[in-house]
Structures are given as C-alpha cells and as structure tokens.
Amino acid sequence: MAKEIKWYKVVEHLNMLQFEPNSMCVVEIDGKKITIARHNNALFGFAYKCPHASGVMVEGYINALGNVVCPLHRYAFNMQNGRNVSGEGYYLKTYPVEERADGVYVGMEKAGFFG
Ligand code: FES
C-alpha cells in the first residue's frame, strides 16, 4: 500500500526561504529539520543529516551533475530519489517539495496506525 503523504506549509512564498549561497537551506517541521535545495528552478527536500556519518547536508554543495555532496566525506546523492550516486550504498531520505500559489509545501509520510 502506498504511504499517505501529509503536506506541511513551510513558508508563504518561495522568496521567504533563506537559501545559502550553495542554494540550500534548512526548514523545521514539527521539530524535524529538513534540507531544501533549489537547482535549475526545481525544489528538492532531503534529510538534514547524511546517512553515512551525520554530516550536515546544508554545509555541502550541489555538484555540476545536480547531486548534493556531503561536506564530510563527499558522498554524493541524487536529490530526487536519494540514491547514493558515488556508490557507497547509502540512501538519503528525500521529501517531496511543492511550490504552490499560497506557499511552499513539504510532504511527509503519515505515521500509520499499524506501524
Ligand atoms: S558523513 Fe556524509 S559522506 Fe560521510
């Protein structure tokens, strides 16, 4: 069964997101930090910390191929699906991000009743 997504509005307008020079910023939803990246006019959401050894992704950079690179050991991840494109076998949790007429939304899986 597909997981249900709950959408959270993080700002009223895209230009309220404080992107760093590396085109990433951090938002908080229910106390959970999420990285948002902007690349080629698309928005991507993914975990605050790297799955390898908890590098803070917002301190990394987006490489020429449009993958996010962790600042600690330079593992690279596809921002769309979290695939570890540098081949170490990790997976970066991703979140859908949508720019809508009334704000920017991040989708998170709803916690199910049965786990
Ligand atoms: S902590 Fe991110 S690559 Fe090691």
Does ligand 1 lie within 6 Å of residue 53's CB atom?
yes
Residue 30 forms part of a structural domain: yes
Report the pLDDT value the prediction gives residue 79, as an integer from 0 to 100. 98
Q: Is the pTM of this model over 0.85?
A: yes
Structural domain that includes position 77: 17-97
Q: Say if CB 62 and CB 24 are below 8 A apart.
A: yes
Measure the CA–CA gap between 40 and 28, rounded to whole angstroms: 23
Q: Give the integer Cα–Cα distance in Å for 66 and 106.
A: 20
Q: What is the pLDDT of residue 29?
A: 94
Write the CA distances from 7 to 15, 29, 105, 113, integer angstroms.
19, 10, 6, 18
Which atom of ligand 1 sits closest to the CA of residue 60?
2
C-beta neighbour count of 58 within 10 angstroms: 21
Which CATH number goes with the domain that contains 91? Answer: 2.102.10.10
pLDDT per residue as tens, the chain (115 positions):
677 999 999 999 999 999 999 999 999 998 999 999 999 999 999 999 999 999 999 999 999 999 999 999 999 999 999 999 999 999 999 999 999 999 999 999 987 665 4
**pLDDT score at 83:** 98
Does residue 108 fall inside a structural domain? Answer: no
